[in-house]
Amino acid sequence: MRYLSTRALNADDAKPFCDILLEGLAADGGLYLPETYPQVSAETLEQWRELLATEGYAALAARVIGLFIDDIPADDLARLTAAAYTGPKFSDPQIVPVSRIGAGPLWLGHLSNGPTAAFKDMAMQLLGELMEYELSRRGSWMTIVGATSGDTGSSAEYALRGRDGIAVVMLTPAGRMTPFQQAQMFSLSDPNIVNVAVEGVFDDCQDLVKAVHTDAAFKATYHLGAVNSINWARLVAQVVYYFCCWLRVTDGPGQEISFAVPTGNFGDICAGHIARAMGLPIRRLILATNENDVLDEFFRTGVYRPRGPEQTWATSSPSMDISKASNFERFIADLYGRDGARVRELFGAVAGGGFFDISGTPEFEAVRTGYGFVSGSSTHADRVATIGRLWREHGILIDPHTADGVKVAEQYVADEPVVVLETALPVKFAETITEAIGEPPPTPERFAHIEEGPRRVVDLPNDVDALKQLIVGTVESLPSLVR
C-alpha cells in the first residue's frame, strides 16, 4: 500500500506508510491518502467478529490497520497495537465498549476510556508506538513542537511520555486552560515532556510554533515534527473503532447501522467515511457540529466557507470550535475521484480567504446518495437540554460534545441502530454538566488526585528566539536524542 497527496496524485511520487508517518503534510500542501481503500468482505467481517470476541480490540486493530501498512511486519504491528490498547492506559478492558440508550435505536460508542478521557487517545496512543518504533529503526529522533488549548496536547503528551528518541515541547496560553486540563498536562514529570505557558492567547502559541517550523535550517537541525490531526496514522487508527462498534452492535452479516459523530476538524468522521468505503455496512454518517457550523453548512448547501477568527465562537463544546476543517480535503478528493487538479483548484479558492460552492453538481448529489452523509448543528441550550434529559430519563451522563452528537442523531432516527460516538468524559466539563443536572460530574478514581502534586511548566514570553533557546536546551539535555 502506497500513499499519494490529495493535490498531486501522481503515482510516481507514491510513498510507503512509514515515510508519511513521520512527514505529516505533503510537500505540495495536500494530505496523504492511500492509493486505494482495501476491501473487506462479509466473510472477513465474520472472522473479525470471532477475533474481537476471543482476542480483543488490539488484535482487531492489527488486522484492520495491517491492510494499510506493508512496511511493518505483521508481528511487530500486533505488538504495537497490543502496547497501545491495553490497561491501565485504558480503563475498560474492552477498550471501546458500546452501550444502548434505554431500549431505543441510539447507542453510545465509548471512545474516552484512554489516559486523558478524550477520544484523541484512540489515535495518539498508537501514533506514539508507531513513531518510537520507526525512529528507532532508522536510528533517528524527533522534537515535536506543538500548541494546544486543551485536548490534543495532553493526549499527545500521554502518548509520547518516556519514549526514546522523542521530545515534546508543547505551548499553551498561560492561564487559559481549565484547571483539569492544566493539571493533566503539568503533572507529568517525564524529562522528555516540556510544558510551556506562553504570555498570550492560543493564536500567539500557534504563531510561535509556525515560526519555528518555517525556519528550514532550525527545523532540520533539531528534527522538528508534529502530531496534528492531518497525520494519516491518526486517521487509520480511528478506522478501527467503526469496525469494532459495528461488530458489537450487530449479530450477523450485512446488518446496516449508522454513526453520529461530533465533528470539528473532520478527522473522526473521515475515518467513518473510510470504513464505509472499505465495505463496512454503514447506512448513514450523521455529522454533528456546534454553533461553529461550517461543515453542517457544506453538507446542507454544498457551500464550503471557512470562517475567520472573528466568526469562530467559543462554545461549551470547545473541542469542536473550528473555523476550517483540516481533514475535509480528503473527503473532497474522494468525491472528485482523486482528481488532484480539481482539489487544488477548490482548496486554492479557500486558501485565499474565499469559499467553494458545488451545489447543483452531481458530486454534491452523491454526498448524500452515494456517501451517506447527513448533518445538523446544535446550540448551548440544546446541549444542556440533551444532557439533562439523558440523565433524568436513563441515568446516563454524557459530555457536551457527545450531547451535540445525540441531539443531531435524534433528528435522523429511522429503523437502523445509530451509534453516537462519545468523544470525552463529563468530568472534563464540570461547568456545563452542573448547569444541566444541578450537580458536578463524578470524578473517576484515576483522576481523583490529579489537581494535587507538583507541576512542571516553563513560563515563556511571546518571543521566537526564547522558544528556540528552549528547544535547543531540551534537545541537548536528553541523551536519547542526537544519537
Ligand X SMILES: *Cc1c(COP(=O)(O)O)cnc(C)c1O
Residues marked as catalytic: 120
Span near ligand X by CB under 6 A; candidates 12-20, 99-107, 115-123, 202-210: 115-123
Cβ distance to ligand X smaller for residue 63 or 276: 276
In sign, the C-alpha dihedral spanning 96, 102, 107, 108 is: negative
Cβ distance to ligand X smaller for residue 81 or 423: 423
298 makes contact with ligand X (CB under 6 A): no
Site for ligand X, residues 203 to 262, rule: CB under 6 A:
229, 262
272 makes contact with ligand X (CB under 6 A): no
How would you write 371-398 as a 3-class SS string? CCEEEEECCHHHHHHHHHHHHHHHCCCC
Which x/- pattern over 401-420 shows residues binding ligand X (rule: CB under 6 A)?
x-------------------
Strands 166-173 and 15-16: what pairing?
unpaired
423 makes contact with ligand X (CB under 6 A): yes
Residues for the chain: how many in total?
Answer: 483
319 makes contact with ligand X (CB under 6 A): yes
* Residues contacting 274, CB < 8 A, separation 6+: 37, 235, 236, 239
Q: Kindly state the cell numbers that stand for 275.
A: 470504513
Q: Which of 264, 272, 372, 441 binds ligand X (CB under 6 A)?
A: 264
- Closest distance between ligand X and the C-beta of residue 324, in Å? 11
Span near ligand X by CB under 6 A; candidates 59-67, 266-274, 447-455, 475-483: 266-274
Write out the H or E segment, with its range, that includes residue 443: none
Q: Which of 320, 406, 408, 481 binds ligand X (CB under 6 A)?
A: 320
Report the C-alpha gap between 369 and 56 in whole angstroms: 34
- Closest distance between ligand X and the C-beta of residue 5, in Å? 20
Report the C-alpha gap between 478 and 351 in whole angstroms: 39
Cβ distance to ligand X smaller for residue 24 or 191: 24
Q: Kindly state the cell numbers that stand for 176.
A: 487559559
- Cβ neighbours, 10 Å, residue 138: 11
296 makes contact with ligand X (CB under 6 A): no
Question: Both ends of the chain: CA-CA distance in Å?
Answer: 31
Burial class for 192, CB neighbours closer than 10 Å (0-12, 13-18, 19+): buried
Q: Which of 424, 433, 436, 481 binds ligand X (CB under 6 A)?
A: 424
SS3 143: strand
Site for ligand X, residues 44 to 103, rule: CB under 6 A:
none
Span near ligand X by CB under 6 A; candidates 40-48, 117-125, 166-174, 218-226: 117-125
266 makes contact with ligand X (CB under 6 A): yes
- Closest distance between ligand X and the C-beta of residue 269, in Å? 6
Span near ligand X by CB under 6 A; candidates 20-28, 116-124, 136-144, 181-189: 116-124
Q: Which of 263, 290, 316, 386 binds ligand X (CB under 6 A)?
A: 263
147 makes contact with ligand X (CB under 6 A): no
Strands 142-147 and 166-173: what pairing?
parallel
Q: Which of 153, 267, 426, 441 binds ligand X (CB under 6 A)?
A: 267
Q: Which of 265, 315, 377, 474 binds ligand X (CB under 6 A)?
A: 265
Q: Does a cis peptide bond (omega within 30 degrees of 0) precede residue 253?
A: no
Closest CA to 303 of 364, 370, 374, 376: 364
224 touches 218 (CB < 8 A): yes
- Closest distance between ligand X and the C-beta of residue 54, in Å? 31
Cβ distance to ligand X smaller for residue 124 or 196: 124
Q: Which of 121, 157, 268, 321 binds ligand X (CB under 6 A)?
A: 268
The secondary structure of 233-274 as a DSSP string is HHHHHHHHHHHHHHHHH--STT--EEEEEE-SSSHHHHHHHH
Please, what is the angle between helix 151-160 and helix 179-186, to 10°? 20
- Closest distance between ligand X and the C-beta of residue 399, in Å? 7
Q: Which residue is nearest to ligand X (CB)?
A: 267
Total binding residues toward ligand X, as defined by CB under 6 A: 17
Cβ distance to ligand X smaller for residue 134 or 151: 151
Phi, psi of 343 (to 5 degrees): -60, -45
120 makes contact with ligand X (CB under 6 A): yes
H-state helical runs in 24-94? 42-55, 57-66, 74-84
321 makes contact with ligand X (CB under 6 A): no
Span near ligand X by CB under 6 A; candidates 113-121, 181-189, 243-251, 363-371: 113-121
Cβ distance to ligand X smaller for residue 265 or 315: 265
Cβ distance to ligand X smaller for residue 268 or 410: 268
Write out the H or E segment, with its range, that includes residue 147: strand 142-147
Closest CA to 243 of 57, 115, 378: 57
Cβ distance to ligand X smaller for residue 5 or 155: 155
Interacting residues with ligand X (CB under 6 A): 118-120, 151, 229, 262-268, 319-320, 401, 423-424
